[in-house]
Structure 1
Amino acid sequence: MLTLTQALYDQIVEHARRDHPDEACGVVAGPAGTDRPERFIPMLNAARSPTFYEFDSKDLLRLYRELDDRDEEPVIVYHSHTATEAYPSRTDVTYANEPAAHYVLVSTADHDGLGEFQFRSYRIVDGVITEEEVQVVAGY
């Protein structure tokens, strides 16, 4: 189960809405080994695409150095889908290289009965997608 604060939930959703119609992406870091998301880190979608996201390689290198210096790890890796449901694509599964992370997808699609947005979380390990419950709390 993914547990995160209302403030982090709101920041992820707001980023997805702000970057629409392009996909938004980012990370929420937390103290290493805790599985507790704490620090919101919005990233630039280097692809600037409504159907694909890509972290800039220099930004990603900088992020991982910063995480290492702060004894943090990526607890949540998130991105948005702008025209489809919040379910990992084959490309998303290919890029899922953090087996301990929660992969959050936010759909900003507002057609076909999907509603204004969906917020869903998955574990993706060795190509296997497992949806998990999301619990939003006021604080830790």
Structure 2
Amino acid sequence: MLTITQTLHDQIVAHSRADHPDEACGVVAGPAGTDRPERFIPMLNAARSPTFYEFDSADLLKLYREMDDRDEEPVIVYHSHTATEAYPSRTDVTYANEPGAHYVLVSTADTDDAGPFQFRSFRIVDGEITEEDVQVVDAY
């Protein structure tokens, strides 16, 4: 199960809506070994595409060095789907290279500023997709 604060949840949704019609993407880092998302890190979708996201390789290298220096790891890797449901595509599965991360997808298809939207979390390990419950809390 993914446990996430309301603030982080809302930041992910806001980023997804702000980048629409392009897919948004980012990471939520947390202390290594805790599985606790804490630091919201919106990233630029280098592909600038409504159907695909790609982290800029230089930005990603910088992020991983920064997380290493802070003894953090990517707890959540998120992105949005702008025209389909919040479920990992074959491309998403191919690029899922963090077996310990929660892969959060937000669908902004058929939404406006007030909603509705889908917010779902998955584990993706060795090509296997497993959906998990999401618990939104006020604080940890």
Q: TM-score, normalised by structure 1?
A: 0.96
**AA in 2 matched with 1:121:** S
- Aligned length, in residue pairs: 137
Residue ranges of structure 1 left out of the alignment (5+ in a row):
none
Q: How far does residue 110 in structure 1 lie from its aligned partner after superposition?
A: 1.0
Deviations, residues 12-35 of structure 1 (Å, cap 9, x unaligned): 000000000000000000000000
Runs of 4+ in 1 over 3 A off after TM superposition: none
Alignment of 1:1-140 (within 5 A): 1-110=1-110, 116-140=116-140
Alpha-carbon distance in 2 for matches of 1:117, 1:133: 16
Residue ranges of structure 2 left out of the alignment (5+ in a row):
none
Alpha-carbon distance in 2 for matches of 1:131, 1:21: 25
**AA in 2 matched with 1:20:** H
> Which SS does the other structure have where 2:51 is aligned?
coil
CA RMSD of aligned residues (A): 0.9
**AA in 1 matched with 2:84:** T
Alpha-carbon distance in 2 for matches of 1:54, 1:32: 24
> Which SS does the other structure have where 1:37 is aligned?
coil
Alpha-carbon distance in 2 for matches of 1:109, 1:55: 22
Q: TM-score, normalised by structure 2?
A: 0.96
> Which SS does the other structure have where 2:53 is aligned?
coil
Q: How far does residue 116 in structure 1 lie from its aligned partner after superposition?
A: 2.3
**AA in 2 matched with 1:103:** Y
